[in-house]
Amino acid sequence: MAADDFAAGFSTANRLYARGKFADAAGLYQKLLASGRVSANLLFNDGNAEFRLGNNGKAIAAFLRAERLAPRDPDIRANLDFVRKQAGDNTAPPVWEDWLGQLTLNEWTCLAAAAFWLAFLLFAAAQIRPALRRTLRPAAALSILLALLFGSALAAQAVVHFSKSIAVVVQPRAVARSGPFADARQTFAARDGAEFPVLDRRGNWVQVNDSGKFGWLSSGQIAIVPGA
């Protein structure tokens, strides 16, 4: 989709939303997302439209994806927390994960690289100008410490980004089964908007964990949100 067409479609969807035509707006937002031009603003507006339609799960999935792109946006965080409460869920990530999520993977990469190159330049300057070694030593030590800290944070965030996905229930009631097939016995039921960590995938089925209860959900019952 060309940039001009995308911008026109986004404006049209926003006008539909402003006129209270939430279903039409949500449909157009989804069409724009399917084009591959994903942005935090588009996902945020899509989440608002889905919430207006009473689709808590779809709204949560959209806000989670928007938060991945703009982790420090207060409006996204506020709306996500609000819809979670409406869905009867107070899901919150661990404190360390929430701290890491304040920056994107690219931002952690830039910080780690900047600290590393600063340390390298300081050590190089100390070798070139021995008289400056005593003066540069504290700054070089601090740079090394920061490089290690940011590098560790980058590694932890990369693990979350590439391995931790969330399954959000997008139907009024989803049934988890003991195996990845429709005839398997039911292990538990989940409401619209429930969030589960993804453990495994087999075909059109996803294994999740609900407070120690394991089950398989079909792809039609959920939306998968990639890691942060």
Among 47-51, 82-86, 161-165, 181-185, top mean pLDDT goes to 47-51
Over the stretch 108-159, which tens digit does the pLDDT of each residue have?
899 999 999 998 898 888 888 888 888 888 888 899 899 899 888 888 777 7
| Residue/partner pairs of 151-154 with CB below 8 Å, 24 or more apart | 151/112, 151/115, 151/116, 153/100, 153/103, 153/108, 153/111, 153/112, 154/105, 154/108, 154/109, 154/111, 154/112
Residue 228 binned pLDDT confidence (cut-offs 50, 70, 90) = very low
pLDDT of 96: 63
- Total-model pTM: 0.75
Q: Give kind and range of the element (H or E) at residue 121.
A: helix 105-128
Task: Name the β-bridge partners of 198.
Answer: 208
pLDDT above 90 for 2? no
Give the range among 73-77, 121-125, 186-190 with minimum mean pLDDT. Answer: 121-125
List the structure tokens of 153: 């944070």
pLDDT of 137: 84
Spatial separation of the C-alpha atoms in residues 130 and 112, rounded to whole Å = 27
Rounded (to 5) percent helix, strand, coil in the chain = 60, 15, 25
